[in-house]
């Protein structure tokens, strides 16, 4: 066995909803623990996939370059086709980047807490993980601390924006200033899995920085705002110096045709995205009003989830249990006192807020 994987623990995926319902004897369960889209998927996706299935058999390999989807994405974000690497979700993209650019003895710099896959994949390659804690009060990413953590062993810097699980957002201006301080041979990867949900400013994405810095990669996914988690489609935009290394180690037929069709049709339906983003922002506001009223500590979120602190690990667990028994599953275990709550549909937010309010009144 590879030495680097001996101490690793596998990512524990979500228990299938049907199994969890059966285990707990629930008739209704809303999963708000994985930041999936509570508004589903554009109805156009299902139609296009059905039509594709009717018109094709499955004996031939898919288009290994995802040519049509590639062109659609490239047009949409205004980048050259060749600068894209399309992966089986960002999960695959994170694995590819780590495999391509990390060897034993290297290090990566991350903010903590953040998405666990950067560290997991880094460890898999034998790299050292340098975690820089976020501001405990505001959840803000400590960009100065991240610059200070860079040394001669550092190969990759991961910046999740908005960050999972804190929900906090770093402005493009701040990222530009940060990039100016990072040596050009270190690759900075900006994970924009939740970028669609940012409503505090107009120019939210770091994509324009691709023209200013050669050592930047931007990552996007169809799993969150586009509601396509089951189809597994994510992509990386990266400059000429780096793109071929990642393409070379990608599996030749990584995306099946249904995923390619689904993602392309989902991308075309921007009306659905606008609807989802607006509904999410309204529901997010309703949570903030409640949390402020109750005096609970949380981070200002620009995403489709909120990270909320409780008095003790026991209290966090108690609240999660009460919600679960009422049919609402949230994410526990990311930090002892904290719960990460995916922002659901309005009626579910109201019900959850009522339950939490009652609990807080009675304690
Ligand atoms: C959900 C998530 C991903 C994974 O996305 P997939 O495209 O479904 O693999 C990547 N990064 C962050 C920060 C996420 O929260």
User: Tens of pLDDT along the chain (363 residues)?
Assistant: 778 888 787 777 888 888 989 998 999 999 999 999 999 999 999 999 999 999 999 999 999 999 999 999 999 999 999 999 999 999 999 999 999 999 999 999 999 999 999 999 999 999 999 999 999 999 999 999 999 999 999 999 999 999 999 999 999 999 999 999 999 999 999 999 999 999 999 999 999 999 999 999 999 999 999 999 999 999 999 999 899 999 999 999 999 999 999 999 999 999 999 999 999 999 999 999 999 999 999 999 999 999 999 999 999 999 999 999 999 999 999 999 999 999 999 999 999 999 999 999 988
CA–centroid distance, 92 to ligand 1, in Å, is 10
| Atom 14 of ligand 1, nearest CA residue | 193
Give 9's contacts (C-beta < 8 A, 6+ positions apart): none
Integer Cα distance of 90 and 72 in angstroms = 18
Residue range 44-268, CATH number: 3.40.640.10
CA–centroid distance, 326 to ligand 1, in Å, is 27
Determine whether 68 is exposed, middle or buried from the number of CB atoms within 10 Å of its CB (0-12, 13-18, 19+): middle
| Atom 2 of ligand 1, nearest CA residue | 193
Ligand 1 atom index nearest CA of 92? 9
Determine whether 61 is exposed, middle or buried from the number of CB atoms within 10 Å of its CB (0-12, 13-18, 19+): exposed
CATH fold of the domain at 3-41+271-362: 3.90.1150
Ligand 1 atom index nearest CA of 94? 10
Tell me how far apart the terminal alpha carbons of the chain are, to the nearest angstrom.
Answer: 50
Pocket test for ligand 1, best of 41, 115, 190 (most atoms within 8 A of CB): 115
CA–centroid distance, 91 to ligand 1, in Å, is 6
Q: Which regions of the chain does DSSP assign to beta strands (E)?
A: 30-32, 84-87, 107-112, 128-133, 154-160, 187-191, 216-221, 234-238, 305-309, 328-330, 338-342
Write down the domain spans for the chain.
3-41+271-362, 44-268
């Amino acid at each position: 066995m590879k030495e680097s994987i001996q101490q690793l623990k596998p990512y524990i995926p979500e228990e299938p909803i049907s199994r969890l319902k059966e285990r707990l004897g629930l008739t209704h369960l809303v999963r708000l623990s994985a930041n999936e889209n509570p508004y589903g998927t554009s109805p156009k996706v299902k139609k296009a996939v059905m039509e594709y299935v009717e018109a094709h058999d499955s004996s031939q390999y898919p288009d290994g370059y995802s040519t049509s989807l590639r062109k659609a994405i490239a047009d949409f974000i205004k980048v050259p086709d060749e600068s894209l690497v399309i992966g089986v979700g960002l999960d695959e993209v994170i694995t590819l980047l780590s495999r391509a650019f990390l060897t034993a003895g290297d290090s990566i710099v991350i903010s903590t807490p953040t998405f666990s896959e950067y560290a997991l994949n880094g460890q898999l390659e034998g790299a050292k993980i340098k975690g820089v804690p976020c501001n405990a009060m505001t959840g803000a990413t400590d960009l100065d601390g991240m610059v200070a953590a860079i040394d001669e062993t550092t190969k990759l810097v991961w910046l999740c924006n908005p960050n999972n699980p804190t929900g906090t957002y770093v402005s493009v201006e701040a990222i530009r200033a940060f990039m100016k301080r990072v040596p050009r041979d270190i690759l900075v990867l900006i994970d924009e899995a939740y970028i669609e949900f940012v409503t505090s400013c107009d120019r939210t994405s770091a994509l324009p920085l691709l023209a200013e810095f050669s050592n930047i990669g931007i990552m996007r996914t169809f799993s969150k705002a586009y509601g396509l988690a089951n189809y597994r489609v994510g992509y990386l935009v990266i400059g000429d110096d780096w793109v071929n290394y990642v393409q070379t180690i990608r599996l030749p037929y990584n995306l099946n045709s249904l995923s390619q069709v689904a993602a392309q049709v989902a991308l075309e339906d921007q009306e659905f995205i606008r609807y989802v983003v607006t509904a999410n922002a309204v529901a997010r506001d309703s949570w903030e009003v409640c949390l402020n009223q109750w005096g609970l500590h949380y981070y200002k979120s620009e995403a489709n989830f909120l990270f909320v602190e409780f008095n003790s690990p026991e209290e966090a667990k108690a609240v999660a249990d009460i919600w679960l028994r009422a049919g609402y599953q949230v994410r526990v275990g990311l930090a002892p006192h904290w719960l990460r709550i995916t922002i659901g549909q309005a009626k579910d937010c109201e019900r959850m807020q009522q339950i939490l309010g009652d609990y807080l009144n009675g304690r």
